[in-house]
Amino acid sequence: MMKLAKYIFHGLFFLFITFAVFGQKNDSSKVDYKKIASFMNEQLECDKYVFSRGEFPQFWWRNEAKVENEIGKFPLQVSYFNSNGDQVTRAEYSGRYGAVIKGTTANGFPVQRFVTLFCTDVEFDDYSKNVPIHLNKLKGYGIPEGNWKRYNNNEERFSFGSLKYFPQRDPDAAIFLAGLSEMDSTSPWFDSPRLRDRQWWITYKQKHFQENISLQKIALPQKITSNNFPTLNENKLSKSIYKKKEIENIRTLCRTWAEKGGVPNVTLIVHKGKIIFHEAFGVDEHGKPVTKDSRMWMASITKLLSGTLMMQFVDQGIIDLDAPVAKYLSELSVLGNEKLTVRHLFNHTNGLHNSGEWASDWNVALENQIAHVFPSITVGETFSYHRAGYALAGKIMERLTGRAVPYLFQENIFLPLGMKSAYADNTYGGLYCSAIDLARLGQMLMNKGMYNGFKFFSAETFLKMLPIQLPLGNRKWGVGTSAMGKFGLSDETFGHAAASGSIFRIDPKNELMIISARNNEGKSYREFESALIESCAKLVTHGTQ
């Protein structure tokens, strides 16, 4: 009976929010959605993010006058939680604390924000013996080497004012100290203070906000005995059937690209499951030659990685691509949002394209803010490329598993694929890895879900990931995949573009994969990009002896 009463309460609460806020969608005198969109960028401040034991810091809006103009004045209620997620009224111990700030707008919307705090016994004043920050030599500032050495020998006297107070006044300092204090010798190599903080808030929400949601255990990729699919061997290049002249033309092109473009690249070509070209060209910003194992920024290819992770949830029946997002994120359980599906999050038709920097994986309050702007968006009516949908999709996967997405990447993709260089700290642009490791992901997709003795998902599930025609113009998009059949590649070709200029093309019809890993586009990018892809397509379709 208690559980039933709880469900009824939650239902009545969201019904109240529906009529109090969203029922006024057509009354611009009551709800100004431009002002609400502006409010999304407003930030809270407190007097001390890193503080001494005793009383907790107090909070306020950085621009209180703007907030009042945007959504009206409303009181804030702040609750504090210790490292175990238990509510407390005083900081009795050093270490992590979390502040949850709540308020209800005049229109009845429940605003929530989350801030990490760190308690320590360090004294913050000009006479303190604790120098909380050390500056390494700052290049390009015109300060002689000898003066930096004097600073290193006299940090206590040379540090003053804001230099000493910096950790106290910056929210990132609290996140850094709290996360770093929780890491130990068992922490994986890719772990970081920021990731630890993200996981802490996921666990906190699970404890306080999700009593009615059972965690789903996403199964790791299944071990299989069949070897009837290609596994890349980076130590064995297959060249015998390809014209040497065509291979040399590609080599010259990549070398020239590195020289004229001013950006090094690692280019890798796979045909019929075998590596036929894998070489590094150019030097990095320090003048050091890049190698075949150099880790590069894959930028928005991360979105394809996120789609791959999501398809494991789909394959196991945990998530339905065509189910409303509100099915998995209760904050969005309001009138009208049943139109927003998980698929919309991935194909950029979710209407969230006006979201700003706040629409990030790292925003603990993302679900609350999306719910606040939801009445002003139209779902499925426009295509607009952005990151907000992927960030929200990440929140779904985190909500259901209780695990931060970067950990899921490692456990469910990188480790079983053997991608030893790879790490990604967000869902939309944070992937770094070597070209050969990206090729392992690509070959798994070429194999329709199987690689390295593991089955990641079924062939049927793989097909659901591929680009399909959108009901908006002449555009195809899938779950993290886009159609890329240009420059001699087949119409079946898919992959993803990248702000770094990294190339990732998978052509199932020609059994061809092209990767050119790099950290930025450099000069004459479009010219060299098309030339490389055309040369690769020609090599495998006409370039055999």
63 and 127, same domain (yes or no): yes
pLDDT for the residue numbered 425: 95
60 and 192, same domain (yes or no): yes
Task: Please tell me the distance from the alpha carbon of residue 176 to that of residue 195, in angstroms, as a whole number.
Answer: 10
Q: Which domain holds residue 251?
A: 244-300+428-542
Residue 389 lies in a domain: no
pLDDT for the residue numbered 210: 65
Burial string for 137-161 (b: 16+ CB within 10 Å, else e) reads eeeeeeeeeeeeeebeeeeeeebee
Residue 387 lies in a domain: no
Q: In a structure prediction context, what are the per-residue pLDDT tens digits for the chain, which is 545 residues long?
A: 444 444 444 444 444 444 444 444 444 345 788 999 999 999 999 999 999 999 999 999 999 999 999 999 999 999 999 999 999 999 999 999 999 999 999 989 999 999 999 999 887 777 777 776 788 888 888 888 888 888 888 887 788 777 778 888 899 999 999 999 999 888 899 999 999 999 999 999 999 986 566 788 899 999 998 777 888 987 777 766 888 899 999 999 999 999 999 999 999 999 999 999 999 999 998 899 999 999 999 999 999 999 999 999 999 999 999 999 999 998 888 655 678 999 999 999 999 998 999 999 999 999 999 999 988 889 999 999 999 999 999 999 999 999 999 999 999 999 999 999 999 999 999 999 999 999 999 999 999 999 999 999 999 999 999 999 998 888 999 999 999 999 999 999 999 999 999 999 999 999 999 999 999 999 999 999 999 999 999 998 865 54
Residue 177 lies in a domain: yes
* Residue 408, amino acid: L
182 and 91, same domain (yes or no): yes
291 and 432, same domain (yes or no): yes
163 and 250, same domain (yes or no): no
User: Does an H or E element contain 266, and which?
Assistant: strand 265-271
Task: Please tell me the distance from the alpha carbon of residue 202 to that of residue 394, in angstroms, as a whole number.
Answer: 12
54 and 197, same domain (yes or no): yes
Task: Please tell me the distance from the alpha carbon of residue 47 to that of residue 199, in angstroms, as a whole number.
Answer: 25
Among 436, 438, 440, 446, CA closest to 509: 446
Task: Please tell me the distance from the alpha carbon of residue 299 to that of residue 500, in angstroms, as a whole number.
Answer: 6
Instruction: Please spell the DSSP secondary structure of 133-185, one letter per residue.
Output: --PPP-TTS---HHHHHHHHH-HHHH--THHHHHHHH-HHHHHHHHHHHH--T
Check: CB of residue 16 under 8 Å from CB of residue 86: no
Of the residues 197, 212, 227, which one is the last residue of a structural domain?
A: 212
pLDDT for the residue numbered 215: 85
Return all residues near 191 (Cβ < 8 A) that are at least 6 apart. Answer: 183
Instruction: Please spell the DSSP secondary structure of 449-468, one letter per residue.
Output: SEETTEE-S-HHHHHHHS-E
259 and 126, same domain (yes or no): no
**How many distinct structural domains can be found in the chain?**
2
Residue 408 lies in a domain: no
Task: Please tell me the distance from the alpha carbon of residue 80 to that of residue 86, in angstroms, as a whole number.
Answer: 8
Residue 407 lies in a domain: no
Of the residues 212, 228, 262, which one is the last residue of a structural domain?
A: 212
208 and 248, same domain (yes or no): no
Residue 185 lies in a domain: yes
Residue 306 lies in a domain: no
Residue 190 lies in a domain: yes
207 and 276, same domain (yes or no): no
440 and 489, same domain (yes or no): yes
**Stated pTM of the model:** 0.90
CATH classification at residue 518: 3.40.710.10
pLDDT for the residue numbered 262: 95
pLDDT for the residue numbered 6: 43
Check: CB of residue 390 under 8 Å from CB of residue 397: no
60 and 161, same domain (yes or no): yes
261 and 180, same domain (yes or no): no
